[in-house]
Structure 1
Amino acid sequence: MNTAISAPPERSTPRRAAGVPGRWRNLSTLVGVTVVESGEGSLTTTLFPAIAKTLGLGNTELGLLSTLGRLIGVPFGPFWVWYANRTSRRQAIFVSTLLSGALAAASGFADNFLILLLLQTLQAGAVIGLTPITNAVIADSFDDKARGRAVGMLYGISAILSSVIGPIIGLLSIWESGWRWGFWGVGALLVLTGFLVLVLFREPQVGAADYGAAVQRVEYVRPRFADSVKLMRVPTFSIMMASRLLSGHLLIGVFGVQFLVTERGFDNAVAALVALPFGIGYFLGTVGGGFVVSAIDRRAGGNGRVVFLQAAQVLFAVVAFFATQFDVGAIGFYIALWGLMGLAQGLNPGVNRPILMSVMAPELRAQGFVIYLTIFEVIGWAAFTFVAGVLADAFGLQAVFFWILVVLMLVNAGVLGLLYRFYPRDRARVDALIAARVQEESR
């Protein structure tokens, strides 16, 4: 099968909708896995003040934990996608979730920072493959018009459920060893979730939603490494990679609770209350944003997605300025603004994922999301968290938040403006490629 993408036609061929069997059950299963795994991920940041008290740690150690937890994705992200290609995505999700649960449970026994760092880094490497595999499954299960809603539901429902878990996790800080019980509990849930994947998940064929009834006839050729590298030649893909490096809003999930404890004087349990409004806002942003993107597609075409994505960056920067640069003693002030930051951040997945899905050939989407989420996001996140941790100890988190959450996000919005020139053409090329494959196999 030829994976080359031909020159764009005058107008993009509309993607054909296809009802892929089991797609809603798969989406529900992936939501469950994502909730449990995000709960483990937020456990360290939410309970870090309690962990820090037990093990004698500071902001630098928190930055190091987050940095290595992301850097491990560079080798492990491609590994899990390779493993899924050699076996099945169902098996890859099961094995990674099971391994992640074992390592999370072991983290509860850590008696010094080095052991905790090692176990949490390996745990992050075990779980990192879920995100690119999940996004590829959604692309194969839902047609282009429905992907924004599907992605919004995945991340939105996961966020709202995780936000309920956040304050509960925060209550564990009341007990000296509460954070240990948190790791043990989440580890057990991860193991249970892995076995539920074996029972409930049914793997869709690659390109099922794009090719429709012709999917059985379109030849599937396993992608090569060289094919993945060629994605960088797609202008839209490269711009989105650069934008990922500038996505400073991800920092709020790492240092948000720590900021409220160390800079604003709230205790750990009270500061953790912002997780619920943030999750509610994120839910409204992802689910609502997915439906808004679908409406924009009908009225404004491809560039409507670009306008929406730019607006999300600007909105986050404005809200973050008021949320982090003014010292107000009432936790209610921060609860409200954390909710608005969650809303602004939640607008992103329902539009940036469909943008990427629409400019990659079906067989390259998992590889593309590995590059996007486990390499470029990792580089940006690692740089932000490590540098922020060091600078926060020297200058304070408020100053760090101003430059990364406010200024850098405005720069990001400007960079995304380049998509106006390239995105419609790149999307049309993939539409033409899919239409040509279906026509060729239908002869």
Structure 2
Amino acid sequence: MNPRQVVAALAERGARTLGGPARARAVLTLAGALAVDGADKGTVSAMAPQLTHAFGIGNTQIGLLVSVVALSGAVFTIPAGLLTDRTRRTRLLAVSVVLWAAAMLLAGASTSYLWLLTSRAALGAVTATAGPTIASLVGDYFPAKDRARMYGLILAGDLAGTGFGFALSGSIGSSLTWRFAFWWLVIPGIVLVRFIHRLPEPARGGQSRLEPGQEHISEERDVSETEELPDHESASRQAATGRPESDPAVKAARLARTEPHENLVLHRDPRKASKWWTIRYILRVRTNLLLILASALGYFYFTGLRAFATLYTTRHFGVSTSVATSLVLVVGIGALAGVLSGGRIADRLLRGGRVNARTLVPAVCVLTAPVFFAPAVYVTSLAVAVPLLVVGALLLGAVNPPLDAARLDILPPFLWGTGEGVRTMLRTLCEAVAPTLFGYFSADVFSRQGRDSGTGLQHTLLFFLLALVAAGLLGLVAMRTYPRDVATAQASTRRIEASLREPQEPED
């Protein structure tokens, strides 16, 4: 076998593992979009020591470099979510990656801390589109029965990108300068744009869902792109085929004899309602609000931990930056294993009739994670700390795929983009606060000398484990509200599609 044949054989095997060529193409492209964003975040953490020296800054300023991305992203995520539900999503995602690459060029060219901070703020505005567009595309590309598992494969891109950011950016920055640690990321960004641009746009509501083994992705015309047709004709074309797949969440809710909330059942296309009405409706879905808050608290801790992982490891365990980044990668493997297994476990339980499986798995995992993180942060032996951190990261990684799939279960598909936009805004606000708050607590609250120290970081990481406990408790409440909200979303979807098939009376 020559090298080309070996590569072809590996590619074919990989495509089969992901469910066939069509699914592999969608998964890898969407995962790539998350990977470039994760690589940037890993780069800031890996380059923290060099940035500290280059600009004469401390922990609080390093944390602010991460916070400003999330803060500016929070401002733009709801508009991005509303736009996601009303325009071509693949084009929107491609444009955002182009602007992302431009922001990375500006970051690497920074001559002052203010310049770097400003370029990071611009970066956050661009990355705001990723969450809503990817969530909406996942819902339309993959059947509900496989959605948590496929979501896990896509979310693995974020962790893989973060790992590459730590490893490659750390090596490039050490060999050259911190500027090249940012600039090299432009190359994969440009490559990714080509793949996103060639990715067909799926029809909304499930008509384009990819079945296992499918060879090609068929591109469907969306309602928003059929302006030359009368509204009732374009809507009927979209809704006529219905949903071919069997949704295990809906089946489980039906077996549990769960009735919908009649006051929340929608009868008309919500995209025609006002933006503020849409946002208020999304927040009235109780499970959605609980999951948004739980997700935000989980990301709060993970973001703070990621921002200071390299600094904490070098100071607490007395190792070099290169060793610290290698250890962070080892722990990241645990998180990656959790992302790949969490959705699979939840989907299997759901098919077995466990109606609240997609809320049960995240709640159990996030409540168990502090049991491993607390001793790992406290001990001074790497041999003891690393295995505990790997297990803790695995549990934390297992939370997101079923949680993200659950949020699609409890909203009709016409609101997936806006729903994810609302969730991402609240989540990114927590992400914005976390690094700066972690830095402040480590330098000014838990450090007696009033300056950065390994002890201050240690106490900070232990204290904010309370956020994970709170997230787990919210997840336990969501387990009770989830089945009825699934039934409500399904009833809304049926009635919305029925209204779309009805001929519309011409306006006077």
* Shorter-chain TM-score range: 0.7 to 0.9
Query: What TM-score comes out, normalization by structure 2 length?
Result: 0.76
The one-letter amino acid of 2:388's match is L
Structure 2 residues not aligned, in runs of 5+: 1-18, 211-219, 221-235, 241-267, 447-455, 503-508
Pair 1:310 & 2:363 matched? yes
Mapping 1:19-418, distance limit 5 Å: 22-85=22-85, 87-160=87-160, 162-175=162-175, 177-199=176-198, 201-208=199-206, 216-217=238-239, 222=271, 224-225=274-275, 226-247=277-298, 248-250=300-302, 251-328=304-381, 330=382, 332-373=383-424, 375-394=425-444, 395=446, 396-404=456-464, 406-418=465-477
The alpha-carbon deviation at position 436 of structure 1 amounts to: 4.2
For residues 218-241 of structure 1, the C-alpha deviation after alignment (integer angstroms, 9 at most, x for no partner) is 596635411222111111011112
Q: Distance in 2 between matches of 1:367 and 1:20?
A: 30
When the two structures are aligned, how many residues end up with a matched partner? 419
The alpha-carbon deviation at position 210 of structure 1 amounts to: 9.6
Over 3 Å counting, the alpha-carbon distance change for 1:85 and 1:314 in structure 2 is: closer
Contact 2:104 2:185 (C-alpha < 8 Å) held by counterparts: yes
For residues 109-131 of structure 1, the C-alpha deviation after alignment (integer angstroms, 9 at most, x for no partner) is 11221111111111121122112
**Of 22-31 and 283-292, the range deviating more from structure 2:** 22-31
Contact 1:281 1:343 (C-alpha < 8 Å) held by counterparts: yes
For residues 51-97 of structure 1, the C-alpha deviation after alignment (integer angstroms, 9 at most, x for no partner) is 11222111010121122111101222223334445541121111110
Partner of 2:8: none
Greater relative contact order (Cα < 8 A, sep 6+): 1
The SS at the match of 2:185 is helix
The SS at the match of 1:40 is helix
Q: Distance in 2 between matches of 1:21 and 1:140?
A: 17
**Of 230-239 and 187-196, the range deviating more from structure 2:** 187-196
- When Rg is computed on C-alpha atoms for both structures, the one with the higher figure is 2
Contact 1:132 1:369 (C-alpha < 8 Å) held by counterparts: yes
Q: Distance in 2 between matches of 1:434 and 1:211?
A: 16
**Of 340-349 and 422-431, the range deviating more from structure 2:** 340-349
For residues 280-322 of structure 1, the C-alpha deviation after alignment (integer angstroms, 9 at most, x for no partner) is 2122111111110111102242223322111111222112102
Identity between Structure 1 and Structure 2 (%)? 21
The alpha-carbon deviation at position 274 of structure 1 amounts to: 2.5
Contact 1:22 1:202 (C-alpha < 8 Å) held by counterparts: no
The SS at the match of 2:461 is helix
Q: Distance in 2 between matches of 1:114 and 1:249?
A: 26
Q: Distance in 1 between matches of 2:76 and 2:43?
A: 21
Contact 2:163 2:332 (C-alpha < 8 Å) held by counterparts: yes
Query: What TM-score comes out, normalization by structure 1 length?
Result: 0.87
Q: Distance in 1 between matches of 2:125 and 2:384?
A: 36
Structure 1 residues not aligned, in runs of 5+: 1-18
Over 3 Å counting, the alpha-carbon distance change for 1:130 and 1:249 in structure 2 is: same
The one-letter amino acid of 2:394's match is L
Q: Distance in 1 between matches of 2:88 and 2:191?
A: 20
The alignment's C-alpha RMSD in Å is: 2.7
Q: Distance in 2 between matches of 1:130 and 1:122?
A: 14
Contact 1:170 1:269 (C-alpha < 8 Å) held by counterparts: yes
